[in-house]
Structure 1
Amino acid sequence: MHIKIEISSDQAGLRLDQVVADSKPQISRSIAARLISTGAILVNQTTKRPGYKVKPKDLVDGEAPSPDHQDIKPLVPESIPLNILYEDDYILMIDKPPGLVVHPGAGNDSGTLVNALAAHHSGFREQSWGMDRPGIVHRLDKDTSGLMVIAKTVGSLEFLQKEFKQRRVEKHYLVLARGESIPDSGVIERPIGRHPHHRKRMTVMEENGRYAKTRFSVIKRFDSGCLMDVRLYTGRTHQIRVHFYDQGMPLFGDSIYQNRTFRKKDPGVPRQMLHSWTLSFRHPYSGVRLFFEAPMPEDFKTTLLYLSRGGPVKSVNQG
């Protein structure tokens, strides 16, 4: 399998192994790292480390083994209930519950959405996927609930990933955010990058961050915050959480991107209050534009009622 990628300005700053893994659905991040480390994939005809940060116009070139020759850990099917909103031969729409991890990783070898998918449909267990996250077009954080579109064929996966990359997918979220002076609506355009000291966190980064755009509008106000409709124009890691924290209106229940005073768990707020609400995209086979909506989950409704009745103490300055 030949790999040839010319790095665009939008990809600049990404890790090389991530770029390679994103280029082919058959290649996982770990396989990409191994290929780079062994010199099978080069950048501008020179060897690089998997963590090399790519630059605009870098030429990534090399050969990857076919899926039949890749060392892939077997995916274990698990009977985990799925809330399926729609399904055909090409896609699967689910309403992900909070607390469900999307795919296996460090500390999560089982009990993931991918394990559930493998039990639901035998096609997800086929070797042709060549990776540990078959069908996964986009991700939600463990404690984020709501809509996810899953590809049931490699062709559908490639089409939908391109649609997300080209920003042809319209995504709206429901958010409960803390703050007493939140404007009725607004647009946040602040670049986001990896935190220089906390590698598992993201942060607004003016110089080396990637462009990120978020639009919000208030649906309902209460004493300590708001319920908001949030549209994502880009899909950076933790984008809503980072943008809202940067603007002084962090999400209720977020223990990371949060004012120090509120990082301890509140009994009335079980998780970060973020719900993937609506999703609109073109069908990978018919081209017809589809629209899906996931209703507000029960824990979100309960938290909204709790906050509307007074809930936690009022917000303070970011610290």
Structure 2
Amino acid sequence: MKAVMCVRHAPPEALEIHDLPEPAPGPGQVVVEIAAVGLNFSDTLIIRDLYQVKPPLPFSPGAEFSGHVAALGAGVEGFAVGERVCGYVTSGAARQRVAVAAEFLARVPDDLDLVKAAGLIVTYGTALYALRERGELKPGESLAVLGAAGGVGLAAVELGRIMGARILACASSPEKVAFAMAHGADAGFDYAQGDLKGALKAFGGQAGLDVVYDPVGGEMAEQALRALGNLGRFLVVGFAAGEIPKIPLNLLLLKNCDARGIAFGAQARSNPAWLRDAIGELMGHARDGRISAHVDATFPLERCAEALGEIAGRRVKGKVVLTTG
């Protein structure tokens, strides 16, 4: 079978296509014939050894996928050969077939496109975990989303709308702002306008913002934190800007607010039952049209390097997905 392989830590152009032996399912595992692989910003980091999870070389990137059950290992119940499934593996999905523990799989309804299903798990799962479990977002609260047109940003806009928040979408161009607003944001801010802190404070009003969702980091993080109100929550999702900000802790004291880390992967790996429930909920939203599961572009497996380059260059709105067919 064909597989995208990271044989040395380097930028995407160093990835290679290899022919590997067919996987066999171990006890409790399922072999999935992969139809689509969702790519994420974390994939651009893991291949350069800049991510918190460090798989041994060589490995395939790709944390989420969809496809059909090809074989069942000993002890697996609840799945049948030929069923449509999606799953989460942290890394290793960018290949034609993968063996994965059954507990990290969920069924995909017949009326949900497999390409969309492959791109739901990480971005929308991150946003769901961030806004509901960690952010405790309530109806009517104000939510500012940085990087609002990217995968995790768009997911936060759409899920924030479902949860009843007032949403300010912040992005790096007028086109990206317009894209986020078309998907449910109440207002938008283009970073080129300059005064991010002022825009955030204006949107939050006298009471200040309730929640900031930040997958960008860099110099904007402190500006956003300063716009929080009393008991506000600053959700640390990632660092797409490339710089991990150093937040003055006195701001948390003076503003009586929280900074909360969002580690979707750790949550998913430690609580597979939560992951299955979350995937089921998200697929229900996608089927009913409450979330778009927007796929900006698809690439064949062999063009994985090009696809990751698009993500690294922050040129993507929503998701990029690899296909094997």
TM class, shorter-length: under 0.3
TM-score normalized by the length of structure 1: 0.26
Higher helix share: 2
Considering Cα pairs closer than 8 Å and 6+ residues apart, tell me whether 1 or 2 has the greater RCO. 2
Report the TM-score, using the length of structure 2 for normalisation: 0.26
